Amino acid sequence: AVLRAMVRDPGKVRFPDAATEPVTHVAVKYSHPEWMVSRWIARFGLEEAVRLCDANNERPPVTIRLNVLKVTQAQAIDSLAAAGIAARPSRYVPEAIEVQDGADLFLHPLYRDGAFFVQDTSSMLVAYVLDSKPGDAVLDLAAGPGGKATHIAERMGDRGTVVAVDIHEHRARLIEQNASRLGLRSVKAVCADATKLPPGIACLSFDKVLVDAPCSGTGVLRRRPDLRWHRQPKDLEELVALQASLLSSGAERVKPGGAVVYSTCSIEPEENSLIIEDFLKGHGDFSPDPALPYLPASFSSAFPQAGLPFVETLPHIHKMDGFFIARLVRSASR
């Protein structure tokens, strides 16, 4: 009844005064908690914070990552079109396409045959920055449900090993199921605490390590609108401790000359650049490696400042989920 009354006479709706109460005004008008709005206004300025909040309320696109070992972009688009599903190529990642209507997507034979995985474009950039090669040994920590692990394996031509670790048994099973559906044999799921790796993994060293850390999720609020009301400022402190521990654990397993990539779907500095800053202070054998050379050319040409040195995407600027991606290289001698 309240909503119907508002629709009948929207002019009667009164928001807090924008001039005298900007934080409350934006928080109420765009349905965000005040603590988030306050942070973003302080960091981005009022106008950009409003654009970010507005973008978080938009309906996000459905993007799928094609399994290039099984299907080409043209084949996938034609096959979806034949089933009445309109799709178009992504502007930024070669193996990504945007689906206009994803209602019957999981009933399509392409899904059953392992020809695609649903994944946002910004999330796909992580495997590019990792830059794994055929034959590499890769460790993926906090890997469930396996989106990035399987993308890494596909980019390696399914030649090598991707050890995908997750602490939750059901998420480890999802990694196995997704790898099986996609026809990938190089992905090995392990249920374990990534901060206390079991001896069988702790004794190994890897060419590349991915730490896709659990985070506040402030970069994916348009996909999880309820999350904004569950998060509290104190959550950042707890998450930062876990993120730092995961990064240190992953870094220990990197071979000399190898690389670790740290990523989150957060847009908060405490979980991103400040984590990297603190890590580098205590790990003199690691140095930042600018992400720009590893990114898809179409993304880099559209956003030439991205990846210098870290990738930071924002929904209102890049039209994709908010992500942070940092690549760190270990010195060849230690």
Query: What tens digit of pLDDT does each residue of 68-94 get?
Result: 999 999 999 999 999 999 999 999 999
Nearest-CA neighbor of 90 among 104, 82, 78, 100?
100
The pLDDT, as a whole number, for residue 113 is: 97
Could you report the per-residue pLDDT of 168-219, keeping only the tens digit for each?
A: 999 999 999 999 999 999 999 999 999 999 999 999 999 999 999 999 999 9
CA distances for 127 relative to 94, 164, 281, angstroms: 13, 14, 26
Could you report the per-residue pLDDT of 218-228, keeping only the tens digit for each?
A: 999 999 999 99
Instruction: Give the angle subtended at the CA of 64 by the CAs of 167 and 222, to the nearest 5°.
Output: 75
Residue 155 has pLDDT above 80, yes or no: yes
Which helix (DSSP H) or strand (DSSP E) does residue 171 occupy? Answer: helix 169-181
- List active site positions: 265
Could you report the per-residue pLDDT of 278-329, keeping only the tens digit for each?
A: 999 999 999 999 999 999 999 999 998 888 899 999 999 999 999 999 999 9
Amino acid at 222: R
The pLDDT, as a whole number, for residue 334 is: 57
Whether the predicted model's global pTM rises above the 0.85 cut: yes
Are 149 and 140 contacting, i.e. CB atoms less than 8 angstroms apart? Answer: yes
The pLDDT, as a whole number, for residue 12 is: 78
- Of the two residues 84 and 240, the one the predictor is more confident about is 240
Residue 105 is classified by DSSP as: G
At 60, is the pLDDT very low, low, confident or very high (cuts 50, 70, 90)?
Answer: very high
The pLDDT, as a whole number, for residue 11 is: 80
At 21, is the pLDDT very low, low, confident or very high (cuts 50, 70, 90)?
Answer: very high
At 10, is the pLDDT very low, low, confident or very high (cuts 50, 70, 90)?
Answer: confident
Nearest-CA neighbor of 257 among 307, 159, 328, 311?
328
The pLDDT, as a whole number, for residue 227 is: 97
State the helix-helix crossing angle for 121-130 and 147-155, rounded to 10 degrees.
50
The pLDDT, as a whole number, for residue 307 is: 85
Could you report the per-residue pLDDT of 90-134, keeping only the tens digit for each?
A: 999 999 999 987 678 999 999 999 999 999 999 999 999 999 999
